[in-house]
Amino acid sequence: MEVFKILYTVLGGLGVFFYGMKSMSEALQSVAGDMIKGIIHTLTKNRVSALLVGIVVTMLVQSSSVTTVMVVGFVNAGLMSLAQAIGIVFGANIGTTITGWIISIKIGKYGLLFIGLGIFPMLFGKRNNIRQIGRILFGIGMIFFGLELMSGAFKPLRTMPEFKAAVGYFSQPNYFSYFACVFVGCLLTVIIQSSSAMLGITMALATSGAIQFPTAAALVLGENIGTTITALLASVGANIEAKRTARAHAIFNMLGVLTIFVIFPFYVDFIDWLVPGDPTFKNPSGEFSKIAVHIATSHTVFNVSAALFFLPFVKTLASLVTRITPDKEEKEQRHLVMFGDPSTIVPAVALSQAREETYRLKDIVDRTFDLTEKVLKGNMSKEETNEAIAKIRHYEDSCDNIQKEITVFVLKLLERPLSTRESAEAHSLTHIADELESISDYLTNIANYSKRMPLEVLLDEEAGADFFSLFRSVNAYFNDVTKAFINSSEIDMQDCLNRSENLRKKANKIRGRHVERVGEGRYEPMTALTYSDLIVALRKIRSHTQSIATDHFAAFTAE
């Protein structure tokens, strides 16, 4: 019965801890999202700055796994080089040590206090930032409270003969026991999928006296290897550079652990010397109150020393993973360069990636505009015209695929708690992607109309001058609207509406003039149908461009 009570208390405490970590991480991401996006956008190729970016971002999101998965996504999208990514991963390993210090400070003592401080602004705060700050405090309180529950559950283990016998093997002062601890720490981290949770469990066990400091230090080394599985899983299905980034993370951590493992007894003695207080000190309540700081210090010393030692060899590590992960001869075609599950990415950064992909979609539409105009001018040979139309259809297929994937990506992101501004931007991006895809459809239709009749017959003299005047006006309107979207600048909505209305009237007049020309016998009656379809397609493109302006304006003015 005692074992069952320990088990459900530990599981309950672990659940509370996980919920606290999730709440705190999501709230931090919401509050610091724009800062994170700005930090990554100003990233330079300098390996030291990449290291600092990794530290800062991981401190802000409180998860090295989130940072490394994010980095894998950037590499997969071609927004970051392998060497830059490795530098950020080094920094992420340092940044994650902050979590260890948070959970080492008086475990459990302030749990309920933080919950009480955080719950009221979280539930009743009128502004999003106030609610998120309350959620951060509430998350910290849940972390402390969960650790307190686990620590209390582990206390009876000290007197259980069966547990003492099992742990006795791992507590022996020899390399076999050290290796066993490293292996167990790695395995449990892979299962739990959170090095922070395993670190919390390790501290709870040590604080209750169930394990000693050398055992805890060895478990922490194993946890550093186990945490790399998250990035490795995230790289499945990604491009070759993303796979290399994930493997570089794993190799770096394994080499660091191997180096410390060789000198492990001296490493433990060094931590004991570095940290004031005896890890075996027991306070009046029966807790080993000094050992948590020793564990947090060992975690920090390992990650900082490993990162600084390997930093000069970033390019060497990049070359190594390039050799062991060679390019495949046949590369799969990818329509979307964004990567991964949006639930693992900071919302602001996920939106940034979706926006970058929408820019790519707009670029394809630009190329479709240019190629469609060349087809309509009729200056190419029949073979060249057919090739151009085939390319326009290919562009249209690409736009379809990208639009669908952007929509799926952003809709999954909308399942997460977002700020009002982030939610508005997410909805705006799905709408704009849909409008861009529709414009691509109409441009393809315009190009296909050339199959109905010779364009030199339809678009000559006045009819051609009218049509190309409208075509270029619509294209200019599209360019001006999308320029504001790309630059994230304010748009004059009233001017956009006026221009749209003027283009609609111009389209109707041009179509009416061609009907008059047909009535005068200057064109065959069948030309009126095709010419009308061309004008209507341009009018639809004008309408979809106006919708892009409206969606951008709504997101830009959201508070």
Count CB neighbours of 116 within 10 A. Answer: 12
Query: What is the pLDDT confidence band of residue 499, given thresholds at 50, 70 and 90?
Result: very high
pLDDT for the residue numbered 36: 67
Q: Would you say residue 116 has pLDDT above 70? A: yes
Q: Give per-residue pLDDT as tens, 154-171.
A: 777 766 776 666 666 677
Maximum pairwise Cα distance, the chain: 107
Cα dihedral 404→405→410→412 (10° resolution) = 110
DSSP notation for 441-492: HHHHHHHHGGGTS-HHHHSSHHHHHHHHHHHHHHHHHHHHHHHHHHTT----
In one-letter notation, the amino acid at residue 66 is: V
The structure tokens listed for 463 are 């009819």
Q: pLDDT tens, 326-346?
A: 876 334 444 454 545 666 677
Q: What digits encode the pLDDT tens for the residues 282-309?
A: 777 777 778 888 999 999 999 999 988 8
> Residues 434-442: what's their mean pLDDT?
95
Whole-structure pTM value: 0.66
Nearest of 253, 27, 213, 34 to residue 130 by alpha carbon: 27
Average pLDDT value for residue range 504-531: 82
In terms of pLDDT, which residue wins out, 488 or 342? 488
Q: What is the per-residue pLDDT for 128?
A: 77
Delineate the domains of the chain, giving CATH numbers in brackets. Answer: 2-324 (no CATH), 342-556 (1.20.58.220)
Q: What is the pLDDT of residue 334?
A: 44
The single-letter code of the amino acid at 301 is V
